[in-house]
Amino acid sequence: MTIHKEGFKIIGVSFLIFVIVNIAFKFLLSDYPMICIPLRIFTLVFFLFVVSFFRIPKREITIDDNLILAPSDGKVVVIEEVEETEFLKEKCIQISIFMSPLNIHCQWFPVNGEVTYTKHHSGSYLVAWHPKSSTENERNTIVVKAKNGKPILFRQIAGAVARRIVCFTKVGEEASQDKQAGFIKFGSRIDVFVPLSANIKVNLEQKVQGNQTILAEF
């Protein structure tokens, strides 16, 4: 288990605030231990939560060109046939994964291949499980042309809490299932669009792990 580089600055600032606040408690509330102690515990729990949010587990992965893996941890909240209008311009199966603040928030490439499209969209901050969050929230779209020539589109979506989407990739780069594609800070959603011909391997409400759980098979 390591700490993601995206968390270094936030964790540093959080630690500084933690220290300052607790020093203030010591001087201002020293005569009120029944108030001071719970506040100290609360600030410690909050700081540990911030640290844990940026944790990155060490995972073994078997790379397979025939599989579409979950790009992130979370819970499957949507599996449905839709018309993808931004890039694919065709009907496909949308698989949406909701990430709570307790999940790992790094994203990995779901397939091996080449990045052919990336685009950031400004937008609102509806709760991530809202149906319109896929098209109205701030989001970042990535398309990978898989080794079999089929394009796989996945979209990082900001939520009501998540206000910072980070994309680590650009057009022309090699995509690999063991390579990080991005990071979303503090709760969010990922939409993955796979071909109608793909064999879906997950169910609604199923918990998945990034670069571990098989979403579909070509």
Contact yes or no for 146/192 (Cβ under 8 A): no
The answer, as to whether pTM is greater than 0.85, is no
Element containing residue 108 per DSSP (H, E): strand 106-108
Q: Is 10 helix (H, G, I), strand (E, B) or coil?
A: helix
CA 43/CA 23 separation, integer angstroms:
12
Angle between helical axes of 33-53 and 8-28 (0-180°, round to 10): 180
> For the purposes of burial, counting CB atoms within 10 Å of the CB of 132, is it exposed (0-12), middle (13-18) or buried (19 or more)?
exposed
The catalytic site residues sit at 188
Amino acid code (one letter) for 107? Q
pLDDT confidence of residue 170 = 92
CA 107/CA 109 separation, integer angstroms:
7
CA 208/CA 13 separation, integer angstroms:
31
Q: Helices (H) and strands (E) in the chain — how many of each?
A: 3, 16
The residue-averaged pLDDT of 153-163 equals 77
Contact yes or no for 47/15 (Cβ under 8 A): yes
pLDDT confidence of residue 163 = 58
Domain extent listing, the chain: 2-56, 67-217
**Which pLDDT band holds residue 127 (cuts at 50, 70, 90)?**
low
CA 215/CA 209 separation, integer angstroms:
10
Q: What is the pLDDT of residues 168-210, one digit of tens each?
A: 999 999 999 999 999 987 668 899 999 999 999 999 999 999 9
Give residue for tokens 């042309």: 145
Q: What is the pLDDT of residues 65-80, one digit of tens each?
A: 999 999 999 999 999 9
Contact yes or no for 163/181 (Cβ under 8 A): no
Could you tell me what percent of the chain has a pLDDT over 70? 90
pLDDT at residue 132 is higher than 80: no
Per CATH, the number for 67-217 is 2.70.70
